[in-house]
């Protein structure tokens, strides 16, 4: 029987557009598919919170230990390449020098902004930020009524602490003790499942809360990061709507739509595979999210048609799912403490957290308790690898850990509604060859769609895979634009490393005791990516570069456009450029008030229309590259 625990985050975003809503296309076409994918909230956030607390404790509550922590964390933290460049720069220059055409005649750097942004990063220091997250409160309204499983698991990962350092790097300290105790209390009532790991406590609420089984909206754990300790005591108590109630706070569903949608695509696919794919007749499906999978699925034919393909892709998309996990619904409150110019504190609150869906095979005769346990085990296993926390501001990944909150734009006096966190599992077994696995741990492998027989890894648990201390140097780090545009989860640039294996968890047949055994599953190579890329809105500079290129090269030669203006922007494929152009043309043709996203200067839009008109008119005589083909439409 195949059971799915789905917590659609809906957003991967590595990605991530902080845009609370999905793109037009997504809303139209995809949203429908996602509607059913109600989030199965999962208190991973709680786990994270706990982890943070413990880590804090381990670090002797030394607020200034960030240095050490940071150093330690460096391995697991993305490498920062701020000296990356502006791919379009050359292009612009070239262009400018090239023809009399006014294209880009201004000669401005295509990415002035980015260039500027990079200045301070490394120079900035971690401790500069006055903003300190002094307390962290974890709350959850998820109640586990049934058998709770508490298990202590030996920790394996050496990088478990990954998360904390990230926060510390941002000048965030976790004073912890008091808050920790508080969180502890709350969780007690909730029967939290805890896993100790390398000093990190991983708290997991039952994944299979009644909500899931009942089809009711999932409860979401809530974690608060409160900057001001003073306020902490106060706010922690009742500022959290999702408290279990022990403090009088009412549970509240605070799911983040964005998050849910990010994974929706993959999840849906997975669902398709599971539901329509080959599920052993002997097995009965237990769909915890049945309501999400209506009997009549939209585009059924299409889905079925894609089944086979998806089956293959499932192997890869599953890997990515965990990456989708992210906290959202971030709220902040600025506090002006004392006075120092840098004494502003930022209060942050993560209202919800979700993780991607899980695929678990369980026997029909399995008990609910065992089911829960199974899920818990899976999650625990996944989390054991540690989590990496990323900070996203307006959809852009703030990768410079040295940046202060202020520098990053996270100021008490600024709108912080666009801040997101990304949580990624760092654990995972190394590839057999010992190759570093830049990818994050997977929740599941492709094989999940297959019968249990496909389980390949027999190791009890990924604990043994702790040798991957290697840097998780994301492949995308080498990209230029990606650095600029916060491609936090560069699935598309996933390493082609076939040897990479991850700890996809694949529950196996029930063991003698009836307990469900879960074994890590070798992660399939990541070449096949089933996950939707993170939406990375085009910046005006990119739009300008695109317009320049199209004016010069024309429409219909997107590869050339790509090579010309986005050659180093790995996250922009020529298809992307083509699509962007399409949207630009559309944008230019609609009323300004109907436009969304980052405003595009009218001047650019005018050029878009002009170029579009020109090339539509001259499709037959597209001049070879290099020719000044558009003298007529060159604005300047």
Partner DNA sequence: GTTAGGG
Partner DNA sequence: CCCTAAC
Residue 265 found at the interface with DNA (CB under 7 A): yes
Per CB under 7 A, contacts with DNA among 566-595 are: 571, 574-576, 578-579, 582-583
Residue 254 found at the interface with DNA (CB under 7 A): no
Number of residues that bind DNA (CB under 7 A): 32
Sign of CA dihedral 32, 141, 16, 501: negative
Q: Which of 560, 588, 604, 634 binds DNA (CB under 7 A)?
A: 560
Angle, CA 583 vertex, CA 582 and CA 589 arms, to 5°: 100
* Shortest separation between residue 520's beta carbon and DNA, angstroms: 27
Taking the C-alpha atoms of residue 247 and residue 190, their distance in angstroms, rounded to an integer, is: 13
Q: Which of 558, 584, 608, 629 binds DNA (CB under 7 A)?
A: 558
358 closest CA partner among 15, 34, 2 = 2
Residue 496 found at the interface with DNA (CB under 7 A): no
Closer by beta carbon to DNA, 166 or else 320: 320
Q: Which of 557, 564, 568, 607 binds DNA (CB under 7 A)?
A: 557
Taking the C-alpha atoms of residue 419 and residue 254, their distance in angstroms, rounded to an integer, is: 15
* Shortest separation between residue 631's beta carbon and DNA, angstroms: 22
How many residues are given for the chain?
636
* Shortest separation between residue 395's beta carbon and DNA, angstroms: 10
Per CB under 7 A, the segment of 40-48, 353-361, 428-436, 526-534 that binds DNA is 526-534
Taking the C-alpha atoms of residue 364 and residue 143, their distance in angstroms, rounded to an integer, is: 24
Taking the C-alpha atoms of residue 164 and residue 71, their distance in angstroms, rounded to an integer, is: 12
Residue 23 found at the interface with DNA (CB under 7 A): yes
Residue 306 found at the interface with DNA (CB under 7 A): yes
Per CB under 7 A, the segment of 102-110, 183-191, 319-327, 529-537 that binds DNA is 529-537
Closer by beta carbon to DNA, 424 or else 492: 492
* Shortest separation between residue 28's beta carbon and DNA, angstroms: 7
Closer by beta carbon to DNA, 468 or else 492: 492
Per CB under 7 A, the segment of 20-28, 192-200, 449-457, 503-511 that binds DNA is 20-28
Residue 312 found at the interface with DNA (CB under 7 A): no
Residue 305 found at the interface with DNA (CB under 7 A): yes
Closer by beta carbon to DNA, 138 or else 263: 263
- Contacts of residue 546, Cβ cutoff 8 Å, sequence gap at least 6: 538, 561, 565, 566, 577, 580, 581, 584
The string over 350-385, giving b where at least 16 C-beta atoms fall within 10 Å of a residue's C-beta and e elsewhere, is bbbbbbbbbbbbbbeebeebbbbbbbbbbbbbbbbb
How far, CA to CA in Å, does 625 sit from each of 91, 94, 541, 573, 635? 13, 12, 22, 19, 20
* Shortest separation between residue 594's beta carbon and DNA, angstroms: 17
479 closest CA partner among 114, 70, 68 = 114
Residues 26-65: x where in contact with DNA by CB under 7 A, - otherwise, as a string = x-xx------------------------------------
* Shortest separation between residue 186's beta carbon and DNA, angstroms: 38
Residue 535 found at the interface with DNA (CB under 7 A): yes
User: Which DSSP string do the residues of 200-212 spell out, in sequence order?
Assistant: EEEEE--SS-HHH
- Contacts of residue 157, Cβ cutoff 8 Å, sequence gap at least 6: 197, 198, 384, 385, 386, 426, 427, 463, 465, 466, 468
* Shortest separation between residue 236's beta carbon and DNA, angstroms: 37
SS3 at position 10: strand
Closer by beta carbon to DNA, 253 or else 574: 574
Residue 25 found at the interface with DNA (CB under 7 A): yes
- Contacts of residue 586, Cβ cutoff 8 Å, sequence gap at least 6: none
Closer by beta carbon to DNA, 29 or else 216: 29
Taking the C-alpha atoms of residue 568 and residue 485, their distance in angstroms, rounded to an integer, is: 13
395: left (phi over 0), alpha (psi -120 to 50) or beta: left
Sign of CA dihedral 212, 138, 406, 570: negative
Q: Which of 261, 297, 412, 533 binds DNA (CB under 7 A)?
A: 533
Residue 390 found at the interface with DNA (CB under 7 A): no
Residue 309 found at the interface with DNA (CB under 7 A): yes
Closer by beta carbon to DNA, 91 or else 379: 91
Pairing of strands 200-204, 193-197: antiparallel
Q: Which of 166, 357, 492, 570 binds DNA (CB under 7 A)?
A: 492
Structure tokens at 56: 């804090």
* Shortest separation between residue 612's beta carbon and DNA, angstroms: 11
Residue 534 found at the interface with DNA (CB under 7 A): yes
Residue 596 found at the interface with DNA (CB under 7 A): no
Residue 556 found at the interface with DNA (CB under 7 A): yes
The position carrying tokens 């009942």 is: 214
480 closest CA partner among 405, 526, 545, 558 = 545
Q: How far is CA 439 from the centre of its chain?
A: 12
- Alpha helix (H) residue ranges in 385-424: 405-408
Per CB under 7 A, the segment of 174-182, 249-257, 305-313, 350-358 that binds DNA is 305-313
* Shortest separation between residue 114's beta carbon and DNA, angstroms: 16
73 closest CA partner among 2, 1, 169 = 169
* Shortest separation between residue 554's beta carbon and DNA, angstroms: 9
Closer by beta carbon to DNA, 43 or else 397: 397
Per CB under 7 A, contacts with DNA among 267-286 are: 269
* Shortest separation between residue 326's beta carbon and DNA, angstroms: 16
Q: Which of 4, 139, 523, 532 binds DNA (CB under 7 A)?
A: 532
* Shortest separation between residue 476's beta carbon and DNA, angstroms: 12
Using CB under 7 A as the criterion, which residues of the chain lie in contact with DNA when the complex forms? 23, 25-26, 28-29, 265, 269, 305-306, 309, 492, 530-536, 555-560, 571, 574-576, 578-579, 582-583
């Amino acid at each position: 029987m195949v059971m799915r625990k789905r917590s659609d985050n809906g957003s991967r975003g590595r990605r991530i557009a902080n845009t609370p809503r999905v793109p037009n296309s997504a809303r139209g076409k995809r949203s429908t598919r996602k509607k059913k994918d109600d989030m199965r909230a999962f208190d991973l956030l709680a786990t994270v919170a706990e982890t943070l607390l413990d880590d804090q404790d381990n670090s002797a509550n030394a607020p200034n230990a960030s240095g050490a922590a940071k150093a330690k964390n460096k391995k697991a933290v993305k490498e920062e390449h701020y000296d990356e460049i502006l791919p379009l720069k050359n292009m612009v220059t070239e262009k400018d020098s090239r023809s009399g055409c006014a294209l880009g005649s201004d000669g401005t750097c295509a990415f002035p902004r980015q260039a500027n942004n990079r200045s301070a990063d490394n120079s900035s220091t971690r401790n500069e930020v006055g903003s300190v997250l002094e307390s962290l409160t974890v709350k959850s309204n998820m109640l586990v009524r049934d058998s709770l499983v508490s298990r202590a698991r030996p920790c394996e990962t050496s990088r478990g602490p990954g998360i904390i350092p990230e926060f510390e790097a941002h000048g965030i300290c976790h004073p912890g003790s008091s808050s920790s105790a508080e969180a502890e209390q709350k969780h007690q009532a909730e029967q939290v499942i805890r896993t100790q790991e390398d000093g990190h406590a991983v708290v997991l609420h039952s994944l299979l809360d009644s909500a899931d089984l009942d089809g009711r909206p999932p409860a979401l754990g809530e974690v608060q990061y409160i900057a001001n300790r003073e306020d902490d005591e106060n706010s922690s108590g009742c500022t959290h709507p999702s408290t279990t109630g022990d403090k009088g706070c009412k549970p509240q569903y605070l799911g983040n739509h964005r998050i849910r949608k990010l994974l929706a695509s993959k999840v849906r696919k997975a669902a398709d595979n599971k539901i329509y794919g080959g599920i052993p007749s002997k097995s009965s499906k237990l769909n915890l999210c049945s309501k999400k999978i209506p009997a009549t699925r939209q585009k059924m034919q299409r889905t079925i048609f894609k089944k086979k393909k998806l089956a293959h892709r499932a192997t890869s998309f599953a890997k990515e799912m965990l990456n989708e996990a992210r906290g959202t619904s971030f709220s902040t409150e600025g506090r002006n403490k004392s006075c120092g110019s840098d004494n502003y504190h930022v209060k942050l609150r993560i209202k919800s957290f979700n993780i991607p869906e899980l695929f678990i095979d369980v026997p029909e005769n399995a008990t609910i308790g065992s089911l829960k346990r199974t899920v818990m085990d899976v999650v625990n296993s996944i989390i054991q690898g540690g989590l990496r926390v990323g900070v996203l501001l307006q959809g852009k990944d703030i990768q410079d850990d040295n940046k202060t909150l202020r520098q990053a734009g996270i100021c008490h006096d600024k709108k912080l509604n666009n801040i997101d966190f990304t949580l990624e599992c760092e654990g995972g077994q190394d590839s057999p060859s010992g190759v570093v696995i830049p990818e994050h741990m997977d929740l599941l492998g492709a094989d999940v769609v297959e019968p249990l027989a496909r389980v390949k890894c027999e190791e009890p648990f990924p604990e043994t895979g702790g040798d991957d201390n290697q840097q998780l140097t994301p492949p995308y780090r080498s990209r230029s634009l990606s650095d600029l545009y916060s491609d936090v989860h560069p699935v598309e640039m996933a390493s082609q490393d076939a040897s990479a294996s991850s700890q996809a968890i694949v529950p196996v047949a029930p063991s003698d005791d009836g307990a469900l055994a879960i074994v890590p599953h070798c992660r399939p190579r990541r070449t096949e990516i089933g996950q939707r890329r993170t939406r990375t809105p085009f910046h005006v500079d990119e739009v300008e570069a695109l317009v320049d290129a199209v004016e010069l090269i024309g429409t219909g030669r997107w590869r050339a456009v790509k090579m010309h203006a986005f050659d180093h922007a790995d996250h922009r494929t020529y298809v992307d450029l083509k699509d962007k152009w399409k949207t630009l043309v559309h944008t230019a043709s609609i009323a300004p008030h109907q436009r969304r996203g980052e405003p595009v200067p009218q001047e650019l839009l005018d050029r878009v229309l002009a170029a579009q008109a020109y090339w539509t008119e001259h499709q037959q005589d597209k001049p070879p590259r290099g020719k000044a083909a558009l003298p007529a439409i060159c604005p300047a």
